[in-house]
Structure 1
Amino acid sequence: MSTVSPSSVVAALRAAGCVFAEDEAELLLAAARTPEELTALVARRVAGAPLEHVLGWAGFRGLRITVEPGVFVPRRRTEFLVEQALAQVPDAAVVVDLCCGSGAVGAAVATGLGGDGARAAALHGVELHAADVDPAAVRCARRNLAALGGLVHTGDLFRALPVDLRGRVDILAANVPYVPTGEVPLLPSEAREHEPLVALDGGADGLDVLRRVAAETPHWLAPGGCLVVETGERQVPAAVAAFTASGLTTRVAVCEELYAHVVIGIRP
């Protein structure tokens, strides 16, 4: 690797507009096995590919989540959704990750319930399911959830899930798309050009998928089970209304540091 200097990698990333050029350079240098591979990785990043797609993984709540090209990259703010789910039902036995993408949320929730990684989650008897409409996301999620014994299903929201989960789900985490259609063109190019539109576009006001999830959730939750959904700040009142209309006892949690807004609905 001596033929490619770290300073030249930093300079290339900085010139491409990477804000955290030094940190990214360190990760790329560690990932590359040869100077040629490093050159290729840097070229992909400079061309605009998300760092996580270039590396092949994303860090999420202490886990290394495999992220393939074309699959939604888990955001750090979504870690707050996981924290809220674990706080609400700390002894959950059945977990569903809907709109799962890479399966990061399901993996983090199951691991948190187990208390000490994948092996502990399995030993604690956590039953984990995930679903997504995008076949690429499903393939990626299967890789990430295999060690947890998670089952990943392909299909549109609840239609993808086994019917025997109805009335048994303790934690239903749904990281639904919530960007209004008209605002998708305003997203950073990394998201707009490299992540699937189905994982971003939430309809006219960004809440189309959230409303569908909220409407069906009461049929799937166990008594005391919770639905946790991330949404935008200005969408919170309408999201709360959708949860309440479904008969869920609803509250909102906010993390100012991560600019994260999570709506939590409990089946009485």
Structure 2
Amino acid sequence: MSLSPAPFTLFAVVTALRSAGCVFAEDEAELIVAAAADPAALAAMVERRAAGHPLEHVLGWAGFDGLRIVVGPGVFVPRRRTEFLLHQAAALARPGAVVVDLCCGSGALGAALAARLGPLELHAADVEPAAVRYARRNLGGAGEVHRGDLFEPLPGTLRGRVEILLANVPYVPTGDVGLLPPEARIHEPRVALDGGPDGLDVLRRVAAEAPHWLAPGGHLLIETSERQATRAEETLARHGLATRVVVSDELYATVVVATRPGGLG
């Protein structure tokens, strides 16, 4: 069902979204109506959402830990479950800590951690050009964003100094990518989703390099799935890191925390 530019009502938007199969049509309609600048913009937004574009891309923002993170076409939408990783990091970090956010996407994790703790020595990196653009907008002056593959673009001066290493790496097994909702598999970059045959390819690469970048006593935090947690722990432990798994049943989130032996000076 299409929506003519005028007149427009909340009921018409709900009807159009419900016809398109949007489960939370009423909630989405309220957000879209509030965001639309005029009837023509509203009609275009409803059309995009009905065509399967992620709601966050249509709105231009995603809610994350109380922040509005700017997102758009070609960038991974931060998930609410990743707030659990953020909470674990915030509990371990000190104000002014040296923080690196790998596979940063929109920069949501770094922006939210800075909002919670105040100024940090914050660096973020992503291989996707669109992600880098959005991360720079979302971090503003709170951190520096680098374009490149994992650790490769980071300043060498960070080696051995990183206190908190955030790595929300892709962990969907290649064979499962096709089972994801269309919003993800069609409209988000595959490189942000596909973790290789068992979903752990990128995690292995991070595990191999992390000990060289972490400060003594520094922490690496990686989101994974419940079924991958044991293998993820084993992988990190093989590189000399002390590991533990924390789980949130409420957010359906699993995070592996790996610590470099020693103490922060």
Q: How high is the TM-score relative to the length of structure 2?
A: 0.95
**Is 1:139 equivalent to 2:133 in the alignment?**
yes
Question: RMSD value over aligned CA atoms?
Answer: 1.2
Q: Does 1:213 align with 2:206?
A: yes
Separation in 2, partners of 1:26, 1:224 = 47
Alignment pair present for 1:254 and 2:258: no
Query: How far does the alpha carbon of each residue in 1:93-117 deviate from its partner, in whole angstroms, 9 at most, with x for none?
Result: 1111100000001111122112xxx
Query: Match of 2:40?
Result: 36
State the identity as a percent.
Answer: 69
In structure 1, the gaps of 5 or more residues are 115-120
Q: CA contact under 8 A between 2:218 and 2:259: conserved in structure 1? A: yes
- The residue that corresponds to 1:117 in the other structure is none
Equivalent runs, 1:190-201 vs 2, <5 Å: 190-201=183-194
Q: How many residues align?
A: 257
Instruction: Choose from 87, 110, 116 the match for 1:112.
Output: 116
Q: Is the 8 A contact 1:221 1:267 kept in 2?
A: yes
- The Cα shift of 1:26 comes to 0.7
Aligned to 1:67: 71
Aligned mates of 1:178, 1:225 — CA distance in 2: 23
Are 1:57 and 2:61 an aligned pair?
A: yes
Aligned to 2:164: 171
Q: CA deviation at 1:92?
A: 5.3
Q: Return the structure number with greater helix share.
A: 1
Q: 1:118 maps to what in 2?
A: none
Corresponding residue SS for 1:158: coil
The residue matched to 2:78 in structure 1 has which SS?
coil
Paired residue type of 1:131: A
Whole-angstrom distance in 2 between the partners of 1:32 and 1:136: 23
Deviations 1:40-62 (A, max 9, x none): 10000000000000011100001
Task: Name the SS for the 1:38 alignment partner.
Answer: helix
- Asked whether the equivalents of residues 6 and 40 of structure 2 are also in contact (C-alpha less than 8 Å), the reply is no
* 8 Å CA contact 2:96, 2:121 repeated in 1: no
Structure 1 residue 91: Cα displacement: 3.9
- CA offsets per residue over residues 143-165 of structure 1, 9 Å max, x none? 111142x1100111010111000
- For the 8 Å contact 1:92–1:170, the answer to whether it is kept is no
| Residue 93 (structure 1) aligned with residue 86 (structure 2) | no
Deviation at 1:90, TM superposition (A): 3.6
Gaps of 5+ in 2: none
Q: What's 2:220 paired with? A: 227
